[in-house]
Amino acid sequence: MKSATKREQLLRELQQNTGIEFAIVSERNNDGEETLSQLERLVKSYKASERREYFLERVLRGELSSAQILQGMNKFHIDKDIEFGIYYIEVLKQTRIDVQDVLESLFLQQNYLLVVPMSTEHFVILKGLQPNEQAEQSAETAQMILDVLNTEAMLNARVACGQTKGQLDSLKVAYQEACTAMKIGKIFYMQDYIFDYGKLGLGRLICELPLDVCENYIKEVFGNRRPKELDEEMAITIKVFFDNGLNISETARKLYVHRNTLVYRLEKIEKAIGLDIRNFDNALTYKVVAMVMEYIAHQQSDKR
């Protein structure tokens, strides 16, 4: 009896929402529970289609035609002439905080701001751009988003920016760019929390290479032996050495070690990897090899 009452409620709700009168002619195998479940999905789907966020999500994923986008912009009163920049946000842990509310409150004075939840951990901010807004300002906005999530909401997050800016019907490309920036940034630049599609450097090139090409390059450099895994001290030494332009004196100062201690570490690293990174060509080779190996490891872990 309760099932029948619920079914009638759902049918009335569908009629109120759509203006169409629905009736159940027959139930396959007399399965009332299945009919009830299908009705609930219909109601949920229709309600979702009425939400602005759902419309914007489908625009970003490229699921709507130009005519459907124009129709949706009229329906949700979105200015056809305004241009948007995209910020793709990943929250690094589950939270009870309403991230969408936090993001919307960040831009209370912004004339045009649309926050689109893509999942429980991923959000897109579509920020209306001023006529002369520059790329540098996009980086400042990304940093502001990150600071607010870190300090006010106490959330660890990453922010990726798409390079393409444009009206709503062209934002599929910008969204794909931001997703690519997030993916490449998480592989190669984990120490950072803001990734710009226009500044992915060597990481973008490596991610476009087939895996067999990457494997052949590793074999070309090391033959059939792989370099030994570096301990934390070695890894930090290499990073600081590269950050300081292969300058031994400056690296020793930054690491708070004697110059001779640093030279000993570099010789130890040479034995481990088979490359003397004090030599510029070897340092460049190791930099590329390390990134290629990181990419291969990431691709292999995704297949598991």
Give me the CATH code for the 78-204 domain, please.
3.30.70.270
Q: DSSP strand E in the chain: where? A: 84-91, 113-117, 122-128, 157-161, 194-196
pLDDT surpasses 90 at 232: no
Dihedral (CA of 264, 268, 269, 275) sign:
positive
pLDDT for res 135: 54
Mean pLDDT computed over every residue of the chain: 82
The C-alpha angle 258, 264, 269, rounded to 5 degrees, equals 125
Report the Cα–Cα distance between both ends of the chain, in Å, rounded: 48
pLDDT surpasses 80 at 59: yes
pTM, whole model, 2 decimals? 0.72
pLDDT surpasses 90 at 117: no
pLDDT digits (tens, 9 = 90+) for 137-177: 778 888 888 888 888 778 888 999 888 887 888 889 999 99
In sequence order, the 6+-apart residues with CB closer than 8 A to the CB of 220 are: none
The CA distances from residue 229 to 210, 233, 235, 294, in Å, are: 24, 12, 9, 12
Using 50, 70 and 90 to split pLDDT, how confident is the model at 75?
confident
Q: 217, 71, 59: which is closest to 126 by C-alpha?
A: 59
In sequence order, the 6+-apart residues with CB closer than 8 A to the CB of 108 are: none
Share of the chain above pLDDT 90, in %: 27
Using 50, 70 and 90 to split pLDDT, how confident is the model at 31?
low
CATH number for the 209-303 domain, one of 1.10.10.2840, 3.40.50.720, 3.40.50.10170, 3.30.70.2860?
1.10.10.2840
pLDDT digits (tens, 9 = 90+) for 89-112: 998 776 667 777 777 777 655 656
* Domain extents in the chain: 2-21+33-49, 78-204, 209-303
Q: 36, 38, 45, 37: which is closest to 17 by C-alpha?
A: 45
β-pair type (194-196, 84-91): unpaired
pLDDT surpasses 50 at 1: no
Taking a C-beta distance cutoff of 8 angstroms, is the pair 24, 8 a contact? Answer: no
